[in-house]
Amino acid sequence: MAPMTTPGEEMHALVERLYPLCRSITGDGVRATLDIVGKYIPLQVHEVPTGTRVLDWTVPQEWNIRDAYVADASGRRVVDFAASSLHVLGYSVPVAATLPLSELRGHLHTLPEHPTWVPYRTSYYTPEWGFCLAQETLDALPDGDYEVRIDSTLADGHLTYAEHVVPGEVADEVIVSCHVCHPSLANDNLAGVAVAVHLAQELAERTPYHTYRFVFAPGTIGAITWLARNAERIDRVKHGLVLACAGDRGRLTYKRSRRGDAEIDRVMRYVLETSGRPHHIKEFTPYGYDERQYCSPGFDLGVGSLSRTPYAGYPEYHTSADNPDFVSPEAMEDTLAVCREAFAVLDRDRRYLNLSPYGEPQLGRRGLYDSLGGRSDAKQAQMAMLWVLSLSDGEHGLLDVAERAGLPFDTVADAADALRAAGLIKA
């Protein structure tokens, strides 16, 4: 029987469910988001108190908001936080005042080039208040007095982040990191979260080779907090991927780690190039999402970033037009598939040592040719065995073999499994 919903539809439903919440770098919006994610995969939620020193930073005061509006003289709300979390400047200090429009203008943010869209703005580290609205809404406001009210609190509290671990055969870890600090924006945070949730569910269906650690944390300060609290065990992190902007209809973009030649960089390039998908591979820059923290020289992790259209590369970026309609089930499914394929390579890529390196071992005598009988790619599979034997000098891994031989990675990995079972190579 056909499934009722596709993975893409399930991910899209999660995006829609999380979309209305008012997330920020701290506060109940992040907690509510993690509560919902926790219904799909079990989460370990961490609360780090305000004032905690994390690397060169300090956990800020916690921001919470209950209501906010601009109302005209008749009491009608012309800008209403209840309609969209984007309407309030993120981290706005509380305000209750009546102001003439001329004075209020200094606190209003619009996008004149897209008059029907509401921009996303924050002021995390400078105390300020403000509203974001469509230019056409502002243009329709007559002069006069307006009541402004932001019912928010900035107080000592906590920064919240969460982890989900899929235990593997080995303790070496792959981290998958997503930011969870943007309010009602679909592609820029929620699509990555939805893909990560699905990946975690899939990985748990069998024990993967690596241990997979999913980190759901507010951007910058959250990743810095995670790094500060995991610095002692950071050597366990062997590979990683930051997932962001994972659901728009554009082509895939992979941004290399700072190292540029980390295994994740080679695996992602291999998967993207051999899959025939339209894609773009970018060199590292110390900007973007949390790869810039994971790749900072003190940690220097092999962490790249996978997105579709990169941040700021589409007009809808950081506006109300980045809504659930902007992300598609098919695009999220495609991003999920690339992650799945890349992790399958990461999990099977090993270096082997040829135990019979003097001359070519006799494969027929060991039944290795017969084992290929049923395969439609018997010729390729035989070549793969010869290549694995040839390059298993302890210096080359199976991805090296696949690339040098021009053979599919899975064929090479299957050949290695057969050779290992026959006692001809060892890890």
Kindly list the residues in this chain that would bind Zn ion in the complex (CB under 5 A).
188
| Distance (Å, whole) CA 55 – CA 52 | 10
CB of 292 to Zn ion, least distance (A): 13
3-state secondary structure 279-335: EEEECCCCCCCCHHHHCCCCCCCCEEEEECCCCCCCCCCCECCCCHHHCCHHHHHHH
Nearer to Zn ion, 188 or 291 (CB): 188
CB of 57 to Zn ion, least distance (A): 19
CB of 189 to Zn ion, least distance (A): 7
**Backbone φ, ψ for residue 226 (5° rounding):** -60, -45
CB of 33 to Zn ion, least distance (A): 15
Residue nearest to Zn ion (CB): 188
Nearer to Zn ion, 188 or 333 (CB): 188
Nearer to Zn ion, 23 or 31 (CB): 23
Can you say how many angstroms the Cα of residue 103 is from the centroid of all Cα atoms in its chain?
40
Nearer to Zn ion, 181 or 332 (CB): 181
CB of 209 to Zn ion, least distance (A): 33
Nearer to Zn ion, 183 or 329 (CB): 183
Nearer to Zn ion, 171 or 312 (CB): 312
CB of 311 to Zn ion, least distance (A): 6
CB of 182 to Zn ion, least distance (A): 5
CB of 310 to Zn ion, least distance (A): 11
Nearer to Zn ion, 7 or 218 (CB): 218
Nearer to Zn ion, 33 or 211 (CB): 33
Q: Which residues pair with 96 in a beta bridge?
A: 149
